[in-house]
Chains A and B, each alone.
Chain A
Amino acid sequence: MSSRDDILASIRANLPRVDRRLPFVPAFDDEPPASLLDAFKVTLHRMGGIFLDPTAAGDIRAKIASANVVCSVVPEIPGTRDIAAIDAPRDLADVDFAIVRASFAVAETGSVLLSETDLRVNAVAYLAQHLIVLLDHTDIVLNLHHAYRRPEFRDGHYACFHTGPSATADIEGVLIHGAQGVRSLSILPMARSAGDQTH
């Protein structure tokens, strides 16, 4: 017998003789906050992310302009490294700023979803030193129950909730940003252009 058959046979022989129905999972959306954007901002900040108000957007544009290597996957902000020309993910190891657009955000957790379509080369969101994520404020859902109804989880091969930057506190509980991946994650609110109908 193959290992597969062996394991399945062993499971069948040992299945607990209990009657457990699959429960109905509600969406827990009876009392939504007045503003999804405000709720998102509060949790994002708790999770170490940065929300760039329009007043701060000028500063970040200046920072981007002075950076060595900027890899932009969005049409709104130009970069210096063309993602379409990337052969292997490791060619992104020297990127200072990566700029991408989120599929959507989750108010409950302060998360943004980045899919393979958003990233083009998945590794760009982890090898860059800093990550800037454009977000249309109409792309925010209430909680994870609503999030998992989205098509990105059924269509694509890869999607990841980013909630703040790469972080660790494995040594004595001391919080570090930039454990292995990005040192910072900033959300730049920016409406989708009229032509961007992907979502």
Chain B
Amino acid sequence: MSTAREGNVDGGGMPHPEPRADDPDAVLRDGRRLDHAEGASKPLRLASDPRPEPQPRGARVHGDRPIDQAEAAARFIAAPEHEKMHDERLWDLRQKRDREMHGIPEWEELRSLASAIKEHTLSHLDKYLDQFEANARSNGIHVHWARDAAEHNQIVHAILRDHGATSVIKSKSMLTEECGFRPYMASVGVEVIETDLGERIQQLDNEDPSHVVVPAVHKLRTDVARVFSRTIGTDPGDSDVHYLAEAQRDATRPLILKADAGMTGCNFAVAETGTFVVCTNEGNADLSANVPKLHIASIGIEKIIPRLEHLAVFIRLLSRSALGSPITQYTSHFRGPRRGGEMHVVLVDNGRSERLGMEEFWTSLKCIRCGACMNTCPVYRRSGGLSYGATYSGPIGLIIDPTFNAHKYSNLPFASTLNGSCSDVCPVKINIHEQIYAWRRVLVERHEAPLAKRAAMKAAGALLSRPAAYRAAIAAANIALAHLPRFVIYNRLNAWGKHRELPHPPKQTFHSWHQANRGAKQ
């Protein structure tokens, strides 16, 4: 088997040598390090600093004003311990994904199938939603429809009120994040308890998830120790990960047992059977669904797939792409309420049907939220998910977020090198980097591009359309670069002068060299 070890031998940008058997954090089985679920394939621990580095916070959000991703990213980069762990941890997930990919000869065929199934379903979405609803109802599931986030929250609130429910345990759902579900429930006096460890950490720290699969990946263990000491009473000086996880288990268990209702999201909804499927590693969706009598699932309308045979394709791709694990620890299939229980699903549009009509962007609805594009993205790995100031971060976020608010998220499509790695790893073959590029054009056309970029593009456009002016400008720029004082070149108006030295100007441009050497001979 090809392992991550090989990746280390040829460098791969990872500073760690062979995995150490003496890593105190490792779980060994048959003498080998276990790295299933989102477990790291090698030791990542940093030198423990007696004074832990404070956690950099995410983007500053001012109402509807454009998010300054670069500003938040700069603060993340300025916290080297956080940046290094984040970068290495996500790159490790990417390498684990590659290992799994090489283990399955039909990998590329599965990707093509997944893409084709999704494109077929999305272009017949009305029919399959109708079929899902009819089958779910005949299995005894109550089906609700929500046009937007507000309606979703009101529907769930109404169901809870009917049952006199005041506490809800829930598993992770990006859709409920999108809907601002927790703040809404807090405003109406319903207690919501996240049961995924990473999501619970983020809830207790009053911070959004920074990644669709590993919500607290931007935090170090010392950050978690600080949050838990403040909220669930752990020893502030003890940042042992096993201790922290156990303390959280002990603190959450009583809340799970006394909760009035459970909520889950949905990874896939199967039209032919009315089944919805939830994938977790912690088994927390199964606790949320199976302990309280009432189970409510929030389902984005794009989660539909036609048949059970299609589910096999997606389950084989999801966890391998996300975490480099053959499958999540739990893959739960809900087809109807259990005896004595009650089950509701809320089918949520919230902009999806409109996105379906966007010729260049509708295929973003194929996304299965695996996070592979985030794990591979050099910008995401270095800047942290919270720098995007939006529900969806990383490459997929760049093309989804502007559909919610093109003004507020107008900077995001520029947070990419367009290297295309996101498209290469996408299990459903979304042309992510091409859509990022297309969004830049759309935003410029809508005059939503950042002012400095607009001014620069306009000047460049004028210059590039006139050869003589271009040559004069290049000659002048080369002279200028060689002679201008540093403060003129490296200032805040010139983004190309940030964090890098500009190249030494050539003594002669190609054009003038050609004139002197070849031009004369003709």
Shortest CB distance A4–B (Å): 4
Complex CA gap A102/B222 in Å reads: 41
A20-B123, A122-B290, A180-B252 known; A170+B306 contact, CB < 8 A:
no
Among A15, A22, A175, A181, max chain B CB count under 10 A is at A175
Contacts of A114-154 to chain B: CB distance below 8 A: 116, 122-123, 125-127, 143-145, 147-149, 153-154
Contacts of A1-35 to chain B: CB distance below 8 A: 2-4, 6-8, 10-16, 18-23, 25, 28
Cβ contacts under 8 Å, A149 to chain B:
308-309
Contact A160 B286 (CB under 8 A): yes
Cβ contacts under 8 Å, A25 to chain B:
113, 117, 309-310, 312-313
Cβ contacts under 8 Å, A174 to chain B:
25, 39-40, 221, 241-242
CB of B301 within 8 Å of the partner chain: yes
CB of A199 within 8 Å of the partner chain: no
CB of A109 within 8 Å of the partner chain: yes
Which stretch in B276-284, B421-429, B447-455, B512-520 binds the other chain?
B276-284
Contact A16 B356 (CB under 8 A): yes
CB of A90 within 8 Å of the partner chain: yes
Contact B219 A23 (CB under 8 A): no
Which stretch in A43-51, A52-60, A68-76, A190-198 binds the other chain?
A43-51
Total count of chain A residues near the partner, CB < 8 A: 74
Which stretch in B30-38, B177-185, B381-389, B498-506 binds the other chain?
B30-38
A45-B29, A158-B335, A164-B36 known; A11+B129 contact, CB < 8 A:
yes
In the complex, number of A-B residue pairs with CB atoms less than 8 Å apart? 287
Among A4, A16, A170, max chain B CB count under 10 A is at A170
Among candidates A156, A169, A181, residue contacting B284 with C-beta atoms closer than 8 Å = A181
Contact A7 B353 (CB under 8 A): yes
A123-B290, A126-B283 known; A23+B113 contact, CB < 8 A:
yes
Contact B291 A167 (CB under 8 A): no
Among candidates B37, B126, B332, residue contacting A160 with C-beta atoms closer than 8 Å = B332
Residue of B nearest to A185 (CB): B329
CB of A77 within 8 Å of the partner chain: no
15 further interface pairs, Cβ-Cβ under 8 Å (given A15-B124, A46-B36, A171-B244): A7-B129, A14-B355, A16-B123, A16-B356, A16-B362, A90-B258, A122-B289, A153-B273, A157-B336, A158-B336, A170-B198, A178-B249, A179-B281, A180-B249, A181-B283
List the 10 closest pairs (A to B, CB-CB), nearest first.
Answer: A14-B357, A173-B40, A181-B283, A170-B198, A175-B39, A157-B336, A179-B282, A10-B353, A174-B241, A122-B290
Give B contacts to A, CB under 8 Å.
25-27, 29-30, 34-40, 44-45, 85, 89, 92, 106, 112-113, 116-117, 119-120, 122-126, 129-130, 139-140, 145-147, 151, 195-198, 201, 214-217, 219-221, 224, 241-242, 244-246, 249, 252-253, 256-258, 273, 275, 281-284, 286-287, 289-291, 301, 306, 308-313, 315-316, 325-338, 347, 349, 353-357, 359, 362
Give A contacts to B, CB under 8 Å.
2-4, 6-8, 10-16, 18-23, 25, 28, 43, 45-48, 89-90, 93, 108-111, 116, 122-123, 125-127, 143-145, 147-149, 153-154, 156-182
